[in-house]
A and B are shown apart, each in its own frame.
Chain A
Amino acid sequence: EDQVTQSPEALRLQEGESSSLNCSYTVSGLRGLFWYRQDPGKGPEFLFTLYSAGEEKEKERLKATLTKKESFLHITAPKPEDSATYLCAVQGSGNTGKLIFGQGTTLQVKP
């Protein structure tokens, strides 16, 4: 069964304190791993897609990496505006386009 587990559930950082969020997955035939950001009261906003082990993607202070079993979202020198819930999802084999989401990590960055 396809499954996604994110850790930690919640993370508090001081502004400028770098850290990483983890996304562990099991899926039959990975077609893609996706990272989203969700602000309170809003829909998830797409950040990155990773397709194969060793791939990395960057956007401002965020960097996503992928191995065969997990993905990391590294946050370098975070700012308060980076506070949000970060969701990880995987897409397995098949033609439905369905995503399996993790529970998310809620990040709070204090000034």
Chain B
Amino acid sequence: NAGVTQTPKFRVLKTGQSMTLLCAQDMNHEYMYWYRQDPGMGLRLIHYSVGEGTTAKGEVPDGYNVSRLKKQNFLLGLESAAPSQTSVYFCASSEMGEQFFGPGTRLTVL
């Protein structure tokens, strides 16, 4: 039982490049979330999903897109990376109550 896994763990991008972060959960949770964590800013919600095939905007959605084609997977895409997107990204899943987090992806955009 791996819980929530994230791929990759680290990535360095150049401005304008694109990439996709993958989140997978094996707990059969309906709800999934993408956060970014920056020093002094805490955890901020980017996008979330309340079930397979659904997505919604969170607090800081600009510059990101998401897809939830399968219940166990939640993908976060950056179409044209900017230095302001340098951050640590966390995925989480839940069944309405407590959320369970993945180990994070550290992204640097040069």
Contact = CB atoms under 8 A, between A and B. Distances in A.
Among A87, A98, A101: residue with most chain B CB under 10 A: A98
Contacts of B50: 95-97
Interface string A83-109: 000010101000111110111100000
Interface of B: 4, 31, 33, 40-43, 45, 48, 50, 56, 58, 90, 92, 94-104
Contact of A102 (B42, B95, B96): B42
Contact of B90 (A44, A102, A103): A44
A46 B58 contact: no
B42 A101 contact: yes
Contacts of B92: 43
Interface of A: 31-32, 34, 36, 41-46, 49, 87, 89, 91, 95-99, 101-104
Contact of A43 (B31, B90, B94, B97): B90
B101 to A, nearest CB: 4
A45 B4 CA distance: 12
Contacts of B45: 98-99
A89 B4 CA distance: 19
B44 to A, nearest CB: 8
Contacts of A101: 42-43
A95 B33 CA distance: 14
Contacts of A87: 42-43
Nearest to B40: A103
Given A87-B43, A103-B42, A97 B103 contact: no
Contacts of B94: 97
A109 to B, nearest CB: 22
Pick the 7 closest A-B CB pairs, nearest first: A43-B101, A97-B31, A101-B43, A103-B42, A44-B101, A97-B96, A46-B98
Contacts of B33: 97-98
Given A43-B101, A97-B96, A99-B45, 12 more contacts: A32-B98, A42-B103, A43-B4, A43-B92, A43-B103, A44-B101, A46-B101, A97-B94, A97-B95, A98-B45, A99-B99, A101-B43
